[in-house]
């Protein structure tokens, strides 16, 4: 399963605007994408409320996962850039 490990570097963490961007990107593709936190909590990245409930702060380590697909790596890269724009 393609995965990308990311440390949140967005200045204010993952608040409403980045969550909206993550969800928009995840919904734009037919691939289901999950986000897993360091403590093992897993959420569907297409759910605004589920992602907001995580309250990801700067420095939080997460893993983005999606099923194998031709564009999986591109999707993971786009999502990772929202979480860590400085990467």
Judge residue 66's burial from the number of C-beta atoms within 10 Å of its C-beta, 0-12 exposed, 13-18 middle, 19 or more buried: buried
Question: Catalytic amino acids?
Answer: 15
Give the position of tokens 């936190």: 37
E-state strands within 1-87? 3-7, 34-37, 42-44, 61-65
What is the Cα–Cα distance from 36 to 1, expressed in whole angstroms? 13
């Amino acid at each position: 399963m393609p995965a990308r490990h990311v440390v949140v570097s967005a200045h204010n963490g993952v608040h409403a605007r980045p969550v909206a961007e993550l969800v928009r990107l995840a919904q734009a593709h037919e691939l289901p994408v999950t986000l897993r936190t360091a403590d093992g909590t897993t959420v569907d990245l297409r759910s605004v409320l589920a992602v907001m409930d995580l309250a990801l702060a700067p420095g939080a380590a997460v893993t983005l996962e999606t099923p194998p697909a031709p564009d999986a790596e591109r999707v993971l890269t786009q999502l990772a850039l929202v979480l860590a724009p400085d990467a």
